[in-house]
A and B are shown apart, each in its own frame.
Chain A
């Protein structure tokens, strides 16, 4: 693979490179009269091969690749980038030696830690007893909290006051809703703002989301939180809204000053005529 690139590099040096090269192509128009053509390397088809490709899919394919090749060639000629002879190191032995060194270091680290800090081996799991406090890892609390949305599961009068979904199914679907909402955000807001004050609404949505991640995590551990449970449940959903509103109000009121500051700086740079 590496040998192939050398020929391309050498081949692309032609008298055209002696001109002043600029990435935007300079003042000159790109010549289409064939004067900029470089000798083909061994991956480009010969002229006789090209000639046979005159119809159908092979022609379309040929045109596509030929145009790509041509554009690539033009870009290379216009660029001021100096192509080196060596683009990378071979996998063997150079890269492999380095990888072996890194691997040995981390394996050694694991062995040393295992020797110095022997792991605690607890008793085998006993399905006959459950510890008094049993919780998932802290970073999963938000998801654990979503499983406790039973009071939000609507009792439908159509079903005679019965719920449509069991509370546990409802909790699992709540996870889908939350993950879906997070996944959709990049599609409805591209995030072109550089600072929150430029888009107060989306900043407020973000702050509310972070707050909700926290409050739902607190709801998850409601058995060890000493807040009256219905109050805690209401706070879980209301406090993100409140915080988001406050954020929006603050950023919105900051915007005027921010714009003023921007304008002042702008006019200082370019004083009005």
Chain B
């Protein structure tokens, strides 16, 4: 009796065919998996990420991990602009990486503050991007008053003259006038969504007056340089799952006079800036 005669199941043409299909599929999968893992292991990672310390508006409630980073303001002839530091090249782990960072009131402000939630992939986040730093109006229906502006208009100081009385029926009036805006648009059509707020509280924060006297010294000195004439701005990307929240947009309990994220009810308070830390994603 041949050695393999009592094998079960016995050898047949159909069985050989099935073995061939399964075997070649396995080989193919192993080969493709190996190629993909070698590819990920050897391709150059994006540059310019890493642990970074930032100043942001504080997260007071909800599942988000931290606050949203503040953008230092510049007012250029009545037009609002966001400060984008000069590009410099530094050595980072043997590679030359472009960063734009500068000292703002004792705190190192850099473009890495905005490298989370996919914003790091926007062309405008690149330090040397050819992008306009002007805040451009985005009338998306969030605020009634913005409907008189057209999309892409530069925001000016004149748009905010009534900031001491402004209200939209949510929370109490006179706390400040917000606007939705775009920042650093480039040819890829993906500007950073930001929020501008002009509030009487902002200048008090910058000067450390009243209840803001308890602000940490470095945060207060950062604010005094990052804000101007009561204007402040922050990157409007919820640090939780990247929605675009808004100031005074919901009467959800506890969120009336704060920044409320409609996705998972995170609440940020623009009037309590804090220092935070996160791992910026590589560009």
Contacts and interface: CB of A to CB of B under 8 A. Distances in A.
Contacts of A229: 253-254
Nearest to B238: A130
B46 interface: no
A222 B254 CA distance: 13
Given A53-B6, A150-B63, A134 B253 contact: no
**Chain A interface extent, by class:** 20 to 34
Given A128-B182, A129-B140, A130-B244, A223 B262 contact: yes
A138 interface: no
B140 A127 contact: no
A223 B244 contact: no
Contact of B245 (A58, A130, A150): A130
Contact of A58 (B6, B182, B193): B6
Contacts, number: 61
Given A127-B190, A128-B182, A132-B262, A223 B62 contact: no
Interface string A212-254: 0000000000110000110000000000000000000000000
A229 B102 CA distance: 43
Contacts of A61: 6, 8
A128 B191 contact: yes
B265 interface: yes
A222 B180 CA distance: 25
A213 B131 CA distance: 49
Contacts of A52: 1, 6
B240 interface: yes
Interface in A36-88: 52-53, 58, 61-62
B265 A222 contact: yes
B278 interface: no
Contacts of A166: 63, 65
B193 A129 contact: yes
A147 B1 contact: no
Contacts of A147: 63, 264
B21 interface: no
B263 A128 contact: no
Nearest to A228: B253
B140 to A, nearest CB: 5
B141 to A, nearest CB: 8
A87 B265 CA distance: 62
B252 A223 contact: yes
B152 to A, nearest CB: 13
Contacts of B6: 52-53, 58, 61-62
B277 to A, nearest CB: 14
A128 B182 CA distance: 8
A130 B262 contact: yes
11 contacts: A52-B6, A61-B6, A128-B182, A128-B193, A130-B245, A130-B261, A147-B264, A148-B265, A223-B262, A223-B265, A228-B253
